[in-house]
């Protein structure tokens, strides 16, 4: 799933500066579609699927009761994991979605399915997952059991739905025999709800004002069972033959190409029946099917058909062209990278109006939020383009790593998502080679996740299998640790092995386990084999090195003294007084690969294998400097003795380009985080920003803005912010003028990706810190746009920043104008920019009204509600309003979005990010106590992290406010 927590660059920038920072995340946490379709057992089967009543949200009215609840809780149906007695081999699934509501105003689908399974161990019990399905009884039972290959079959004694653990339970009068095959047949009805999970409906309004309904799927992680009964665990791989019964003016697509389509009369109405080719052996969570009136553009890459699907108007406007252009090259890149042909005959990619994640890697039918697939040259920014190419690369990487070879259980999710989050940069680089996009991993993945991984409430990449059981626990694993830390440590591994050796081990792993399931240890053993075959020198085995990075949380800070050559490592914690309660067999030490250079030379990689050591080459003369972790290839922070810090700062002030650009960003990011953790003074960190008045490169500016955003969050309600604003204006004005000059007064677009991003930084920072010339620019744009609403004069890259400035400075008139533009926006990336900018208002009553709008899906789509609340919370005026809103509506929000929704962790972290007083800590603790009965679902860990961050913030502000105020006063005294 795309996850990787993607944020549109232009939206993210506004965020950082206006205090919309953590918010705009149009992220996508990876969510997978795996639905299976059943083929009719006879041509008239669709006529027999009618149930006696419409589905209820829980269980069918025509089901038998579960056995008495006094049954021992240790019964197999009270456990979350399937027994290992049965293994599915093949499914036939037929589904018929009804795209108009029934008499109860409910959208439903009818279905039937059969699964052939083999008995591995004699048993009189069948457990199969089922969620919110209503069954048509066969005799007295929910299902029927048949022999395959002529074997005898025991009769059914009882069936029931075990709602808490989501099972259909089938008890038998005799034993299933080891080695024999059986077929289980079910007829059922489900609700085609708008809950973005399982088989669900998405809606949009076409250009004529007609409401259109799409039936689509999202199976990952545990919602295939909501579409049809199945053994819904990733290692339970099987083949699927899907058949869709759909209106004749709609198209049906699934993982595989259609085998045949015919017309059939059902209940006096003509329907199309489309049967799809049987899939390879695959996991339920990767199944997908869609019934829609979408159109597509297509081409071929070798023998692979590529289609980009979307709303007909979007496709007609060419919004699928960019995705079509890059998909073939990215598929070709991964075929070479994996040395394995793409395993399927086609690659469909579909942009959906309603989608909970960023994208989902369903095998052969990848689903996306529209903003992650569709791109419009007139409206979309460079950030939108980067998002499209990286999300496509992320999902296509999964077609091999995750789909062809699948992790056995969700405890190893990090390897699946971390790997895709790493190689998405390689795939995107192959499609856009001039962008240098691989460098952005340091900012987008490494530094972003270190903020979480430096907390005692973090967690290791790998969980024990028995730690992850329930759907909510599975959802919680889809976090920034799995995606971004996973990507960061795999990037480090590839760097010290070399990419060629890494690829050889990877290729061997994929060839060995194709169509099977693995654990992370299987990958380590194949990489070890490649290490030995290529004579790579390592201090210990891959497993010994990597276990320290995957089985314990956190990361080290490496401290070196350039006078003595003494080097040591410590577990880096943002609050050095916090207590680490999670034990580690490695005692929080790591085997650290260290690259380094001095002013004069680049050294060989050095391995720190103990807590401390002496390396004479790290001694440098008083006029030189030492720099560790070149290009931030290692997942650790670096601290130096004061003399070396001084030399690095001197180098930055005289000729900053003598230090590589990524390491200029590293010096800033490490210094600010070391100051948070009290390794260095806060004034040293602030001193690293002085050279920015001469810096035009994106990465150092972005690192500085990200870190100064923390100062803004801590101080924008205090006197510090007044002088901080003056300093920011002084530093950004040269950058603002630089871009005004090279763009011919904002008329031209800078050439490279990084340059375009830094132009956005210049505008965003200048406007949000009140530089008059920038605010006048946004006012002038607003005036021109009002005069001709159909002709937006603002360049797409600058829209997020300028829209935000318009709303912040233009009062109710500007808000209403942008709201009208939002309501009529047909390009989703444009709608996202407008929706986010609406949270930039400085009027509390407007923001309170906007919060209420998030509860009305006719105003704000359900998928965008939490991101909108997050945006409002990131605004200093909106933050207390959003906090009151969440506290007042928690029960309703929780019931509406469900405990498994990944949105809750972001919601909690966003709304509490400014908390830095004892009173706010008390409120947060009270919120936790008041809602114990409801719970926090996937936000449970985020709530603990928010409490930890708040305590750290309280301490940090007390200790640093006076010093920071004095530093900014000193820097701005002459202004």
Write out the catalytic residue numbers: 395
* Contact criterion met (CB below 8 Å) for 400 and 338: yes
Pick from 38, 473, 469: nearest CA to 238: 38
Give, in order, the Cα–Cα distances in Å from 99 to each of 41, 96, 203, 276, 778: 24, 10, 10, 21, 44
Measuring CA to CA, which residue among 466, 431, 289, 951 is closest to residue 423? 431
Virtual CA dihedral for 190, 192, 195, 200, nearest 10 degrees? 110
First to last CA, the chain: 50
3-state secondary structure 670-689: HHHHHHHCCCCCHHHHHHCC
CA–CA gap between residue 477 and residue 412 (Å, rounded): 9
Residue 46 has what DSSP assignment? G
Q: Residue 740 is encoded by which pair of tokens?
A: 């005004």
The full DSSP string for 457-482 is: T---SSPPGGG--SHHHHHHHSSHII
Q: Which two tokens stand for residue 77?
A: 């149906």
**Segment holding 835, helix H or strand E:** helix 828-837
Contact 181, 189 (CB under 8 A): no
Q: What is the CA angle 747-752-755, rounded to 5? A: 70
Residues 6+ away with beta carbon under 8 Å from 958: none
What is the H or E stretch that residue 829 is in? Answer: helix 828-837
Least Cα distance to 392 among 416, 413, 371, 414 occurs for 371
Place of tokens 């946490």: 29
Residue 316: both structure tokens together: 């007609």
Q: What share of the chain is helix, strand, coil (3-state, %, to 5)?
A: 45, 20, 35
* Token pair belonging to 973: 């005294």
Residue among 858, 867, 820 nearest 839 (CA): 867
Work out the burial of residue 290: count CB atoms within 10 Å of its CB; fewer than 13 is exposed, 13-18 middle, 19 or more buried. buried
Query: Exposed e or buried b for every residue in 962-974, given b needs 16+ CB within 10 A?
Result: eebbebbeebbee
Question: Phi and psi for 205 in degrees, rounded to 5?
Answer: -110, 125
What is the C-alpha separation between 316 and 322, in angstroms, rounded? 13
Q: How far are the Cα atoms of 592, 604, 768 from residue 601, in angstroms, in the given order?
A: 21, 10, 42
CB-based contact 33:219 (threshold 8 Å):
yes
Cα dihedral 887/893/895/896 (nearest 10): 170
List the one residue out of 424, 468, 292 whose CA is nearest residue 1. Answer: 424
CA-to-CA dists, residue 721 to 270, 729, 809, angstroms = 68, 12, 19
| Angle made by CA atoms 942, 948, 949, in degrees to the nearest 5 | 85
């Amino acid at each position: 799933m795309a996850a990787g927590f993607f944020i549109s660059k232009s939206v993210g920038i506004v965020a950082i500066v206006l205090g919309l920072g953590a918010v705009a995340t149009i992220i996508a946490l990876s969510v997978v579609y795996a639905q299976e379709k059943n083929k009719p057992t006879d041509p008239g089967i669709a006529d027999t699927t009618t149930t006696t009543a419409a589905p209820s949200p829980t269980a069918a009215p025509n089901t038998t009761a579960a056995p008495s609840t006094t049954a021992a809780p240790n019964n197999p149906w009270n456990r979350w994991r399937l027994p290992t007695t049965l293994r599915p081999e093949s499914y036939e699934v037929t589904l018929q979605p009804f795209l108009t509501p029934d008499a109860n105003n409910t959208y439903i689908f009818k279905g039937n399915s059969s699964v052939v399974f083999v008995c591995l161990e004699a048993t009189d019990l069948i457990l199969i997952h089922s969620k919110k399905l209503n069954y048509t009884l066969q005799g007295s039972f929910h299902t029927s059991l048949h022999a395959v290959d002529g074997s005898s079959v025991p009769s059914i004694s009882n069936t029931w739905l075990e709602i808490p653990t989501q099972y259909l339970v089938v008890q038998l009068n005799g034993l299933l025999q080891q080695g024999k095959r059986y077929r289980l047949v079910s007829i059922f009805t489900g609700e085609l709800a708008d809950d973005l999970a399982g088989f669900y409906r998405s809606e949009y309004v076409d250009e004529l004002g007609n409401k259109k309904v799409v039936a689509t799927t999202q199976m990952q992680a545990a919602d295939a069972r909501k579409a049809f009964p199945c053994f819904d665990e990733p290692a339970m791989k099987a083949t699927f033959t899907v058949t869709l019964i759909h209106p004749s003016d709609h198209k049906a697509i699934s993982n595989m190409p259609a085998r045949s389509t015919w017309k059939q009369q059902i209940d006096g109405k003509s329907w199309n029946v489309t049967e799809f080719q049987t899939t390879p052996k695959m996991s339920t969570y990767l199944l997908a099917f869609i019934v829609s009136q979408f159109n597509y553009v297509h081409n071929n890459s070798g023998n692979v058909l590529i289609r980009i699907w979307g709303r007909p108007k979007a496709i007609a406007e060419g919004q699928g062209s960019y995705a079509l252009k890059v998909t073939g090259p990215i598929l070709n890149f991964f075929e070479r990278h994996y040395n394995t042909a793409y395993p399927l005959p086609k690659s469909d990619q579909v942009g959906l109006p309603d989608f909970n994640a960023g994208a989902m890697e369903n095998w052969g039918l990848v689903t996306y939020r529209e903003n992650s697939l569709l791109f419009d040259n007139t409206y979309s920014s460079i950030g939108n383009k980067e998002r499209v190419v990286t999300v496509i690369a992320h999902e296509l990487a999964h077609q091999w790593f995750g789909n062809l070879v699948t992790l056995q259980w969700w405890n190893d999710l990090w390897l699946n998502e971390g790997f895709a989050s790493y190689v998405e940069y390689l795939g995107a680089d192959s499609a856009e080679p001039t962008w240098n996009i691989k460098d952005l991993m340091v900012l987008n993945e490494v530094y972003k996740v270190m903020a979480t991984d430096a907390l005692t409430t973090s967690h290791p990449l790998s969980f024990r299998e028995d730690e992850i059981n329930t759907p909510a626990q599975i959802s919680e694993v889809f976090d920034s640790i799995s995606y971004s830390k996973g990507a960061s440590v795999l990037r480090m591994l590839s760097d010290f092995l070399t990419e060629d050796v890494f690829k050889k081990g990877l290729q061997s792993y994929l060839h060995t386990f194709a169509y099977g399931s693995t654990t992370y240890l299987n990958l380590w053993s194949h990489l070890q084999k490649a290490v030995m075959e290529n004579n790579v020198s390592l201090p210990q085995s891959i497993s010994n090195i990597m276990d320290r990075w995957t089985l314990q949380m956190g990361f080290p800070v490496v401290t070196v003294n350039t006078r003595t050559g003494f080097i040591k490592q410590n577990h880096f914690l943002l609050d050095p007084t916090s207590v680490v309660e999670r034990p580690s067999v490695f005692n929080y030490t790591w085997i650290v690969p260290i690259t380094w250079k001095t002013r004069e030379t680049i050294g060989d990689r050095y391995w720190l294998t103990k807590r401390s050591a002496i390396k004479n080459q790290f001694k440098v003369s008083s006029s030189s400097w030492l720099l560790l972790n070149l290009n931030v290839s290692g997942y650790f922070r670096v601290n130096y003795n004061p003399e070396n810090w001084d030399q690095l700062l001197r180098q930055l002030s005289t000729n900053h380009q003598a230090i590589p650009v990524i390491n200029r960003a590293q010096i800033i990011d490490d210094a600010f985080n070391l100051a948070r953790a009290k390794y260095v003074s806060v004034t040293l960190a602030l001193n690293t920003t002085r050279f920015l008045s001469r810096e035009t490169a994106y990465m150092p500016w972005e690192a500085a803005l990200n870190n100064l955003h923390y100062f803004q969050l801590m101080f924008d309600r205090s006197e510090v912010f007044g002088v901080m604003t003056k300093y920011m204006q002084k530093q950004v004005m040269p950058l603002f003028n630089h871009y005004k000059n090279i763009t011919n007064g904002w008329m031209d677009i800078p050439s490279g990706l990084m340059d375009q991003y830094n132009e956005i930084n210049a505008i965003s920072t200048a406007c949000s810190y009140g530089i008059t010339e920038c605010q006048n620019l946004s006012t002038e744009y607003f005036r021109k746009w009002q005069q001709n609403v159909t002709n937006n004069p603002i360049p797409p890259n600058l829209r997020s920043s300028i829209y935000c400035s318009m709303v912040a400075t233009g009062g109710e008139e500007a808000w209403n104008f942008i709201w009208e533009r939002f309501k009529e926006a047909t390009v989703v990336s444009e709608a996202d920019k407008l929706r986010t900018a609406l949270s930039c208002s400085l009027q509390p009553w407007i923001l309170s009204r906007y919060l209420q709008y998030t509860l009305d899906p006719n105003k704000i789509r359900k998928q965008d509600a939490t991101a909108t609340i997050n945006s409002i919370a990131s605004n200093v005026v909106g933050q207390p309003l959003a906090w009151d809103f969440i506290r007042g509506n928690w029960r309703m929000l929780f019931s509406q979005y469900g405990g498994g929704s990944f949105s809750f962790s972001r919601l909690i972290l966003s709304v509490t990010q400014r908390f830095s007083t004892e009173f706010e800590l008390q409120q947060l603790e009270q919120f936790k106590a008041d809602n114990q009965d409801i719970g926090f679902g996937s936000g449970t860990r985020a709530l603990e992290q928010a409490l930890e961050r708040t305590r750290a913030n309280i301490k940090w502000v007390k200790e640093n406010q006076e010093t920071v105020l004095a530093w900014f006063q000193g820097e701005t005294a002459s202004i």
